[in-house]
């Protein structure tokens, strides 16, 4: 059992020990109008985490789609949300719900409120309703329809329901207090007319409930004990409580608010993410640059890294922004321990081992992960011709340059020490080929006397090399707070957020990965086989998850 602690878990522990509740039932209630983002992970880890911690007493967490809005919701989103919650490592079991299955219940509650004289059909224009709401400093004005009889309200509400009243011509409002200091309590709208088809109920309904009315009823119907949501709902809590207190509900849930998880260098609202997708700024919701959970998965980010950030940042009411470097740190930490090392040469230049026979070829045993003995070794073929990184050779090298330089020596990772004997350049001074001698007996052995060799470089045998495409992803925005940019968040997009390298030379084992599988390209960073475009033994496409070091510091 985890020792996580925060003010919400304290409240729950108290409610359990006082006997107020026998167990705790939470829910994660996304609206299926977009893909889940990193911020949602905080709500998921909190709600499902609490359920897991209280599993012994029967604690559980519902996955509930808050699909009461007919216009925006799509089944594609429902499926993506399920996939993402499962990927983060949580299970809802049989507790999968759709708020749209409760439409009749919402309706019955509305009729109940009308019968009790606590709701009325208002037929003022939308503009008048807005104007008569007053302001923070001024009370609102009561609607001329406020004191209609119960019978008239029932028949007008019925007419709304039957589609006899057009959109915008009438709403159902709670009769609370037009002078309330909290604007949400000034006769809030409970239902509106919408002649739109719903993905679940089709054309059955012509009226749809507002979030503030539906949400507490959903919670109560599912016997949610603690309804955990983000701070923007704090001012709505009195209305939440009013709905629960005045409707015929089977349980009394309690709403508790916490602050959102935000990250630097990104935007997180679904509206903006949808714009990025629709305007083609990114390839889709799962573009590896997107702060979505599906983007993170496609980028090769381990779900544990996201869970750890949620754990470390905790649950509070303090509004803050989390440094994206914290997530990157966790990714590196996890992958450093677990990712097998592989060799890939991004910008290749040829080395010829002039004293190595043309027909010769041998298997070098290369350590898979120096951080993990159990990862073992693999065999990598070595031949007379090798690819190395262009910048691992320097003609006019400074004294502290320890890679290959004229007359210098360097070790091939897992293999021989090689010594420069010559090189060729083209008319632009660009190196086209490097000539080296390999030193017999140096595999796994220190450099012989008189040879200075301080470092090892990665390499790939020319006849065995596989061609790959490598996508170097960087932050999507170049400033810490894109939302605050004067020209709008799209004015601060990072033009270098994606760099595509083709003709990358990779060792043969990299043609045998599974899509989505990850590894470290030695000395380069962490990469994964793209889950959509990588074809085993065919087109090899790799995504950079994160570089080895933070280059933004």
Catalytic residues: 31, 260, 270
Applying CB under 6 A, does 519 fall inside the site for ligand ATP?
Answer: no
Part of the chain binding ligand ATP (CB under 6 A), chosen from 68-76, 83-91, 259-267, 410-418: 259-267
Question: Is the Cβ of residue 293 or residue 436 nearer to ligand ATP in the bound state?
Answer: 293
Applying CB under 6 A, does 300 fall inside the site for ligand ATP?
Answer: no
C-beta neighbour count of 232 within 10 angstroms? 10
DSSP state of 332: H
In sign, the C-alpha dihedral spanning 471, 474, 478, 484 is positive
Applying CB under 6 A, does 40 fall inside the site for ligand ATP?
Answer: yes
By CB under 6 A, name the one of 9, 21, 30, 388 that touches ligand ATP. 30
Please calculate the CA angle 131-212-247 and round it to the nearest 5 degrees. 115
Applying CB under 6 A, does 29 fall inside the site for ligand ATP?
Answer: yes
Maximal CA-CA distance, the chain: 104
> Which residues in the 226-255 window bind ligand ATP by CB under 6 A?
229-230
Question: Is the Cβ of residue 48 or residue 387 nearer to ligand ATP in the bound state?
Answer: 48
Question: Is the Cβ of residue 21 or residue 236 nearer to ligand ATP in the bound state?
Answer: 236
Q: How far is the CB of 314 from ligand ATP (least distance, A)?
A: 12
Part of the chain binding ligand ATP (CB under 6 A), chosen from 36-44, 333-341, 400-408, 491-499: 36-44
What's the CA gap between 162 and 184, in Å, rounded? 28
C-beta neighbour count of 54 within 10 angstroms? 23
E strand residue ranges, 250-290: 254-258
Applying CB under 6 A, does 270 fall inside the site for ligand ATP?
Answer: yes
Question: For residue 138, what are the contacts with CB-CB under 8 A and spacing of at least 6?
Answer: none
Question: For residue 204, what are the contacts with CB-CB under 8 A and spacing of at least 6?
Answer: 103, 198
Part of the chain binding ligand ATP (CB under 6 A), chosen from 39-47, 401-409, 439-447, 464-472: 39-47
By CB under 6 A, name the one of 83, 95, 260, 478 that touches ligand ATP. 260
Question: Is the Cβ of residue 39 or residue 482 nearer to ligand ATP in the bound state?
Answer: 39
By CB under 6 A, name the one of 110, 113, 261, 282 that touches ligand ATP. 261
Unique residue bearing structure tokens 């999968």: 96
Count of residues interacting with ligand ATP (CB under 6 A): 15
String of b and e for 358-387 (b: at least 16 CB within 10 Å)?
Answer: eeeeeebebbbbeeeeeeeebebebbbebb
Question: Is the Cβ of residue 276 or residue 339 nearer to ligand ATP in the bound state?
Answer: 276
Write out the two tokens for 98: 């759709």
Write out the two tokens for 256: 């508790």
The β-bridge relationship of strands 525-529 and 540-547 is antiparallel
Question: Is the Cβ of residue 30 or residue 303 nearer to ligand ATP in the bound state?
Answer: 30
Write out the two tokens for 535: 């074809």
Question: For residue 256, what are the contacts with CB-CB under 8 A and spacing of at least 6?
Answer: 8, 11, 226, 227, 228, 229
Question: Is the Cβ of residue 224 or residue 504 nearer to ligand ATP in the bound state?
Answer: 224
Part of the chain binding ligand ATP (CB under 6 A), chosen from 24-32, 330-338, 444-452, 534-542: 24-32
Part of the chain binding ligand ATP (CB under 6 A), chosen from 23-31, 117-125, 177-185, 363-371: 23-31
String of b and e for 111-129 (b: at least 16 CB within 10 Å)?
Answer: bebbeeebbbbbbbeeeeb
Q: How far is the CB of 64 from ligand ATP (least distance, A)?
A: 10
What's the CA gap between 175 and 172, in Å, rounded? 10
Applying CB under 6 A, does 42 fall inside the site for ligand ATP?
Answer: yes
By CB under 6 A, name the one of 165, 174, 224, 268 that touches ligand ATP. 268
Q: Residues interacting with ligand ATP, by CB under 6 A?
A: 29-31, 39-40, 42-43, 229-230, 260-262, 268-270
């Amino acid at each position: 059992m985890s020792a996580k602690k925060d003010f919400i878990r304290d409240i729950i522990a108290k409610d359990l020990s006082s006997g107020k509740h026998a167990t705790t039932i939470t829910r994660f209630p996304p609206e299926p109008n977009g893909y889940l983002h990193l911020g949602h992970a905080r709500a998921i880890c909190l709600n499902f985490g609490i359920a897991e911690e209280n599993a012994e007493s029967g604690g559980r967490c519902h996955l509930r789609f808050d699909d009461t809005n007919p216009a925006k919701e799509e089944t594609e989103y429902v499926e993506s949300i399920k996939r993402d919650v499962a990927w983060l490592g949580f299970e809802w079991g049989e507790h999968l719900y759709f708020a749209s299955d409760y439409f009749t219940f919402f309706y019955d509650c509305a009729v109940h409120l009308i019968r009790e004289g606590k709701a009325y059909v208002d037929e003022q224009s939308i503009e008048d309703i807005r104007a008569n709401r007053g302001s923070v400093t001024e009370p609102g004005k009561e609607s001329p329809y406020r004191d209609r009889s119960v019978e008239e309200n029932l028949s007008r509400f019925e007419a709304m329901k039957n589609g006899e009243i057009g959109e915008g011509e009438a709403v159902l409002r709670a009769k609370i207090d037009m002078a309330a200091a909290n604007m949400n309590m000034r006769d809030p709208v409970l239902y509106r007319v919408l002649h739109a088809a719903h993905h679940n109920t089709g054309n059955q309904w012509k009226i749809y409930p507002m979030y503030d009315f539906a949400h507490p009823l959903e919670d109560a119907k599912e016997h949610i004990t603690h309804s955990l949501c983000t701070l923007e709902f704090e001012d709505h809590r009195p209305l939440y409580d009013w709905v629960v207190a005045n409707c015929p509900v089977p349980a009394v849930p309690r709403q508790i608010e916490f602050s959102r998880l935000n990250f630097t260098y990104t935007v997180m609202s679904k509206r903006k993410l949808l714009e990025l997708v629709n305007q083609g700024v990114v390839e889709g919701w799962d573009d590896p640059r997107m702060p979505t959970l599906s983007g993170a998965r496609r980028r090769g980010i381990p779900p544990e890294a996201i869970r750890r950030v949620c754990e470390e940042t905790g649950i509070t009411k303090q509004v803050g922004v989390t440094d994206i470097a914290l997530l990157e740190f966790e990714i590196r930490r996890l992958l450093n321990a677990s990712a097998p090392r592989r060799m890939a040469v991004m910008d290749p230049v040829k080395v010829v081992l002039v004293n190595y026979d043309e027909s010769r070829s041998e298997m070098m045993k290369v350590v898979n992960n120096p951080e993990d003995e159990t990862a073992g070794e693999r065999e990598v073929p070595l031949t007379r011709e090798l690819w190395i990184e262009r910048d691992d050779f320097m003609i006019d090298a400074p004294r502290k340059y320890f890679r290959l330089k004229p007359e210098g020596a360097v070790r091939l990772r897992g293999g021989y020490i090689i010594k420069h004997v010559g090189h060729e350049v083209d008319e632009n001074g660009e190196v086209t080929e490097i000539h080296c001698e390999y030193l017999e007996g140096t595999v796994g052995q220190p450099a012989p006397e008189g040879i200075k060799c301080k470092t090892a470089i990665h390499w790939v045998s020319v006849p065995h090399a596989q061609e790959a495409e490598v996508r170097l992803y960087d932050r999507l925005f170049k400033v810490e707070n894109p939302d605050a940019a004067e020209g709008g968040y799209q004015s601060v997009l990072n033009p270098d957020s994606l760099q595509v390298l083709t003709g990358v030379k990779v060792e043969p084992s990299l043609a045998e990965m599974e899509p989505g599988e990850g590894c470290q390209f030695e000395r380069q960073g962490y990469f994964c086989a793209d889950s959509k475009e990588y074809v085993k033994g065919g087109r090899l496409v790799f995504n950079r998850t994160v570089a080895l070091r933070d280059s933004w510091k």
